[in-house]
């Protein structure tokens, strides 16, 4: 494998494990067993590494959210989108974690991310439309679909942050498991619940039950 690729992979791995803020370029080089000079031969600076990773993430999600317009959508389609998006979220989970700082320090990234966000919101709306055409969703006003899409986006992109903040202190820094992340699907389906038509409603509710967050079972100690 080319050194450039290795840098990307290792950076992503370390960022995901420890957070971008806690991973220096020297760490990345050391972890790879290469010199800092070598790393900087392949990338002008740290931002470029992050930007590269973002573009891969973007490509992946755009691929996932390529919604067919020539046919209505099914419950299976919907679950597929959810599973895919949360998979992507897991693979690039560092990104949403340090998002604000990253955007503040790279205008290019800020602009691209903004467009990315609106593309995703649009895709969510198109999924709603497809599901309505498939008889899964009730028809709703454009305004409501827009607000709903935004709420879905908020839940999806920040579920990870919630999980991490609700973790007890004694667990390690990288203790969230992919299955826990998937529990965000439960929350998204909770949002959609009131807008589902029978008989799909019961079907989706049954699927939803499988993702029930484990945090909910636990009772918090309010000392």
Partner DNA sequence: CTATTATTAGAGTATATGCTCTAGCCCGTC
Partner DNA sequence: GACGGGCTAGAGCATATACTCTAATAATAG
Binding partner at 220 among DNA, its own copies, none, C-beta below 5 to 8 Å by kind? its own copies
- Footprint on residues 15-44 left by its own copies (CB under 8 A): 19, 21-22
Least Cα distance to 97 among 3, 33, 173 occurs for 173
Q: Does 173 bind DNA (CB under 7 A)?
A: no
Binding partner at 63 among its own copies, DNA, none, C-beta below 5 to 8 Å by kind? none
Distance between CA atoms of residues 97 and 214, nearest Å: 21
Cα of first residue to Cα of last residue in the chain, in angstroms, is 52
Please, what sign has the CA dihedral across residues 149, 153, 154, 160? positive
Place of tokens 């099914």: 74
**Residue 67 CB: number of other CB atoms within 10 A?**
16
Nearest distance, CB of residue 23 and DNA, angstroms: 7
Nearer to its own copies, 76 or 104 (CB): 104
Contacts with DNA, 43-72, as mask; x by CB under 7 A: -xxxx-------------------------
Among 5, 76, 83, 111, which residue sits at the site for its own copies (rule: CB under 8 A)? 111
Distance between CA atoms of residues 203 and 200, nearest Å: 5
Give the binding-site size for its own copies (rule: CB under 8 A).
55
What's the chain's Rg over C-alpha atoms? 20
Kindly list the residues in this chain that would bind DNA in the complex (CB under 7 A).
2-3, 22, 24-27, 33-38, 40-42, 44-47
């Amino acid at each position: 494998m080319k050194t450039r690729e290795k840098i990307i992979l290792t950076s992503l791995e370390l960022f995901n494990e420890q957070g971008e803020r806690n991973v220096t370029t020297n760490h990345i080089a050391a972890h790879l067993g290469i010199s800092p000079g070598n790393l900087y031969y392949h990338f002008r600076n740290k931002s470029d590494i992050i930007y590269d990773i973002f573009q891969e993430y973007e490509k992946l999600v755009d691929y996932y959210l390529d919604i067919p317009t020539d046919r209505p959508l099914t419950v299976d389609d919907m679950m597929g989108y959810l599973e895919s998006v949360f998979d992507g979220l897991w693979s690039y989970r560092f990104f949403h974690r340090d998002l604000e700082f990253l955007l503040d320090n790279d205008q290019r990234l800020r602009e691209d991310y903004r467009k990315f966000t609106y593309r995703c919101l649009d895709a969510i709306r198109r999924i709603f439309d497809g599901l309505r055409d498939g008889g899964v969703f009730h028809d709703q006003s454009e305004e409501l679909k827009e607000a709903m899409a935004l709420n879905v986006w908020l839940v999806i992109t920040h579920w990870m942050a919630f999980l991490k903040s609700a973790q007890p202190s004694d667990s390690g820094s990288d203790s969230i498991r992919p299955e826990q992340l998937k529990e965000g699907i439960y929350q998204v389906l909770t949002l959609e619940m009131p807008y589902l038509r029978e008989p799909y409603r019961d079907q989706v509710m049954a699927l939803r039950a499988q993702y029930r967050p484990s945090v909910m079972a636990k009772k918090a100690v309010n000392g």
